[in-house]
Chains A and B, each alone.
Chain A
Amino acid sequence: MRTIRVGSDAGYSGDRIEPAVELAEKGDIQYLVFECLGERTVALAQRARLKNPDDGFDPLLEARMRAVLPPCAKNGIKIVTNMGAANPSAAARKTAQIAASLGLSRLKIAAVMGDDVLEACKQHDLPLLEIDGTLKTLGNRIVSANAYLGAEPMAAALKAGADIVITGRASDPALFLAPMVDAFGWPMDDWDLLGRGTVAGHLLECAGQITGGYFADPGFKDVAGLARLGFPIGEVSEDGGLVITKVAGSGGEVSVRTCKEQLLYEVHDPARYMQPDVVADFSQVTVEEIGPDRVRVSGGRGTQRPDTLKISVGYVDGYIGEGQMSYAGPGAEARARLALEIARERLKLTKVEASEWRFDLIGIDALHGERRSQGGAPYEVRVRVAGRTDTLKEAVRIGDEVETLYTNGPAGGGGAFKSARDIVAVASVLLPRELVAPQVRFVEA
């Protein structure tokens, strides 16, 4: 039976680059996938594009492409990535320039467009999924609206001979499903095959999270070599069979336990994992160790794809101002509590306006509240004040006020930090799929 090996070379936009090079050089892979687009990254990229029409793609695109293009060209590895963010065609042109500067010619680069559905969203008032209200209630605060595209346009680009496929917003598992559809010619209505491919894509999409990253817990789950963690490879066969592995000698582990954790990562109902191409069913999946760092995953299934596509809507949501200060030694906690009291009163006295506040004692209650703290006097405590404001000016005042604790607050306050940032939040709507029209555009290097 025919088998392909697909490498997962990034789990988020800022991920490590050397493991990708290692996979391209030593992974014996035919496809390499970079998943680099977080929930709100497209909205931020859209703003960059408005400032400069040649910008709006992933800021690390150049560094990643320069690192992997030579080994990929040498080994005939095709690349699929969502680093196009808000501007896939500019990303494709940039990649062509990089390829040319590396002396690589005849590379076919495809940009997948059509995920930008801002116009359609202006014409259809749809209910927001996570928060109360509809698109209309967000009004002119909307920055971007992008559909999670499926595997079809990416697979079509590969079939038409693309060496590199660059998309904007697409479902993360679909980035991996596209190579399988390309290699095996899977019909786009064979729900069980697409379900199995989605299991593979889902397991691979966060790169190091299945090879021992986001996992180690000393004494309970020890993992060796995390500083040189290897990224995963999926060996997929024509019938959707799957083995997860990694480059021999790289750090980390591929085991039953890492695969189980990643299988359920960001999953709600395991029997209904909603994707643009299929509703995948993870509920009957089994995992089995068949060798060192080799795990066989079976039992994925699927049912008919939904009639709607999920749209990620970025909108401006005010500002967050923040300030921090540390206290240590005997009485650290008492002084930190005093610092918070002072800050609280000062922010009131100086009339800093925020719609929501946090007053945290890092080391005691910042993550899960005071009730869960182990008790005992912590040696060091860090005070954190954060507030949500309507203007940047107001947000800046929060950190400034906390900083004044240096000379006006309790004894021995050190290490002040302050920040003020504007918030682009993300909500989702469901759009009928016929309103989304993906297209593929080629650029020659």
Chain B
Amino acid sequence: MAKLRDIAHSRTGDKGNISNISVIAFDARHYPLLCEQVTPARVKAHFEGIVFGEVVRYELPNIAALNFVLDQALGGGVTRSLALDAHGKSLSSALLDLEIELPPDHDRGVA
């Protein structure tokens, strides 16, 4: 079993109580695999106990990337959160821990 980190990179941004996390394929050939396996439902389940609202996914085939928007994800909002990482900057690393199933003949394509 591979990790999402093997085939994609990621960055977190924050606005109010909403976090957005990009998931970008190192190799554009892995983009369909991202679309298939990194679903909003899986991301929501992965962030159980952290993200309390809806998870919406936007697809950007031109840059082989997905953008996840996570509502109610930042402890009430960046400017008032009690959390150690109030911005949720570290959430991208948590998402890259997601397990990914690669086809048997797959080249992991780490950049």
Q: Show the binding face of A for B, using Cβ within 8 Å.
A: 39-40, 129-131, 214-215, 217, 220-221, 257, 260-271, 282-287, 299, 317, 320, 356-358, 360, 362, 366-369, 371-372, 384, 386-388, 423-428
The distance in angstroms between the C-alpha atoms of A228 and B35, with both chains bound, is 37
Residues B9 and A425 in contact, CB atoms below 8 Å apart: no
The distance in angstroms between the C-alpha atoms of A360 and B86, with both chains bound, is 13
Which chain B residues border A271 with CB–CB below 8 Å?
58
Complex interface residues of chain B between 1 and 55 (CB less than 8 A to chain A): 5, 9-11, 13-18, 20, 22, 24, 26, 48-50
Also in contact, A266 and B14, with CB within 8 A (given A261-B9, A286-B62): yes
Residues B82 and A320 in contact, CB atoms below 8 Å apart: yes
Which chain A residues border B20 with CB–CB below 8 Å?
264, 266-268
Q: Which residue of B lies closest to A358 (CB)?
A: B82
Also in contact, A267 and B82, with CB within 8 A (given A261-B9, A261-B11, A371-B49): no
Q: Which residue of A lies closest to B5 (CB)?
A: A220
**Which residue from A40, A220, A257, A366 sits with its C-beta under 8 Å from B24?**
A257
Task: Give, as a whole number of angstroms, the nearest-CB distance from B75 to chain A.
Answer: 8
Which chain B residues border A287 with CB–CB below 8 Å?
63
Interface centre among A260, A423, A427 (most CB of B within 10 A): A260
Other CB < 8 Å A-B pairs besides A267-B13, A268-B15, A368-B90, 12 of them?
A: A40-B79, A129-B16, A214-B11, A260-B65, A261-B10, A262-B11, A265-B11, A265-B22, A266-B13, A268-B67, A285-B63, A426-B16
The distance in angstroms between the C-alpha atoms of A371 and B20, with both chains bound, is 22
Top 9 closest pairs, chain A to chain B, by CB: A266-B13, A130-B16, A264-B22, A425-B80, A261-B11, A425-B79, A265-B13, A358-B82, A426-B79
Task: Give, as a whole number of angstroms, the nearest-CB distance from B62 to chain A.
Answer: 5
The distance in angstroms between the C-alpha atoms of A81 and B24, with both chains bound, is 32
Complex interface residues of chain B between 48 and 85 (CB less than 8 A to chain A): 48-50, 58, 60, 62-63, 65, 67, 69, 76-80, 82-85
Task: Give, as a whole number of angstroms, the nearest-CB distance from A254 to chain B.
Answer: 15
Residues B16 and A270 in contact, CB atoms below 8 Å apart: no
Residues B94 and A388 in contact, CB atoms below 8 Å apart: no
**Which residue from B5, B17, B62 sits with its C-beta under 8 Å from A130?**
B17
Task: Count B interface residues, CB 8 Å.
Answer: 40
Residues A221 and B9 in contact, CB atoms below 8 Å apart: yes
Which chain B residues border A221 with CB–CB below 8 Å?
9, 111
7 pairs, CB–CB < 8 Å, chain A vs chain B: A260-B22, A266-B20, A268-B58, A283-B58, A320-B82, A368-B91, A388-B80
The distance in angstroms between the C-alpha atoms of A257 and B69, with both chains bound, is 20
The distance in angstroms between the C-alpha atoms of A266 and B18, with both chains bound, is 9
**Which residue from A131, A269, A388 sits with its C-beta under 8 Å from B82?**
A388
The distance in angstroms between the C-alpha atoms of A257 and B89, with both chains bound, is 18
Task: Give, as a whole number of angstroms, the nearest-CB distance from A51 to chain B.
Answer: 21
The distance in angstroms between the C-alpha atoms of A287 and B15, with both chains bound, is 25
Q: Which residue of B lies closest to A324 (CB)?
A: B84
Which chain A residues border B22 with CB–CB below 8 Å?
260-261, 264-265
**Which residue from A129, A130, A263 sits with its C-beta under 8 Å from B63?**
A263
Residues A266 and B15 in contact, CB atoms below 8 Å apart: yes
**Which residue from A129, A367, A371 sits with its C-beta under 8 Å from B85?**
A367
Also in contact, A423 and B80, with CB within 8 A (given A130-B16, A261-B24): yes
Which chain A residues border B84 with CB–CB below 8 Å?
360, 362, 366-367, 384
The distance in angstroms between the C-alpha atoms of A384 and B111, with both chains bound, is 37
Q: Is B97 an interface residue (CB 8 A)?
A: yes
Which chain B residues border A357 with CB–CB below 8 Å?
82
Task: Give, as a whole number of angstroms, the nearest-CB distance from A336 to chain B.
Answer: 15
Residues A369 and B50 in contact, CB atoms below 8 Å apart: yes
Which chain B residues border A372 with CB–CB below 8 Å?
94, 97
Also in contact, A220 and B110, with CB within 8 A (given A264-B65, A269-B58, A386-B82): yes
Which chain A residues border B50 with CB–CB below 8 Å?
368-369
Q: Which residue of A lies closest to B63 (CB)?
A: A260
The distance in angstroms between the C-alpha atoms of A356 and B111, with both chains bound, is 43
Which chain B residues border A356 with CB–CB below 8 Å?
82
Residues B62 and A217 in contact, CB atoms below 8 Å apart: no
Residues A424 and B82 in contact, CB atoms below 8 Å apart: no
The distance in angstroms between the C-alpha atoms of A369 and B75, with both chains bound, is 13
Residues B11 and A283 in contact, CB atoms below 8 Å apart: no
Which chain A residues border B89 with CB–CB below 8 Å?
214
Which chain A residues border B69 with CB–CB below 8 Å?
268-269
Q: Which residue of B lies closest to A269 (CB)?
A: B58
